Amino acid sequence: MPNPVICFGQQPCGIFPRRFLYAKIVTARRWQQELGGEIVFFLHDSDHDPRETATILRNCRTGREDTLNFEYANKRQRHFSPLFAKRVLPEWKVKTARQLPCYVGPKAVAHFKGTGAANAADFCLEMYRRMGLMDGIRVERSGDLEFRRRAIVVEDYFVDVRYEGELVRARARDGKLLLHKGGDSYIELPAQEYDASQISPARDSRLRWMQSVIRCTHYIAGAGEMKYLHQEEAPNVAFVPRDFIKDSDRAYVPPE
């Protein structure tokens, strides 16, 4: 078989990553020990949903679970900008740094205070690296312009364009560029030219778009992913269920 390329994909999923991402990393490392090869993290930082970075932590004093998340400069950025373009507000970082000792230990707080990334995707990735989770793992990003240029053409996709001073991720559909406001409500943007460097895939086209560049031999996925992945589009890939982990949607914080 070719040199194994063990891949897992995920949006930036919290200041401290959700436990399902930690489980994917553990699964990938176990398979690497058995097979050799390399591990690739496909970071889907083109996603625009602000809920992806919600971080659920338990308050050490009250025992209550609270959700922390980034705050943004305006509604357009919050709802429509890709995660790599959602700017981190300095005042949010100061406020959150004051809150964190109620939830995590001094080392984790230090990781947060030492992270200086300017956007949500970079901030999450830098945190994961500071926590040691990315050691020995190659990261490929859906927002990387060169990655986009190398990827195949897909019919189902989003386009990064400017809208009222912000970079936004618009759905391309029937020759139109649309921002989804919720339900059946959309904002139609003016028609404009764009190229491959502005395109990122929709959910159903993401696997073959990603695979056209990464060419993995093994792909680690959660139960939800297994249901929608079109595995028949990657017949040479072994799809591996990620290891079970309790409270998978809660934040993973390494022991002090």
Give the separation between CA 14 and CA 24, rounded to whole angstroms.
15
Amino acid at 204: D
Q: Does the pLDDT at position 2 exceed 80?
A: no
> What's the pTM?
0.96
Query: What band does 17 get if pLDDT is binned at 50, 70 and 90?
Result: very high
| Structural contact between residues 46 and 143, judged by C-beta atoms closer than 8 angstroms | yes
Identify the three-state secondary structure at position 52.
helix
Both tokens assigned to 161: 């364009």
- Mean pLDDT within 33-43: 97
3-state secondary structure of 131: coil
Q: Give 46-95 pLDDT, tens digit per residue.
A: 999 999 999 999 999 999 999 999 999 999 999 999 999 999 999 999 99
205 DSSP assignment: G
User: How confident is the model at residue 148, as a pLDDT?
Assistant: 98
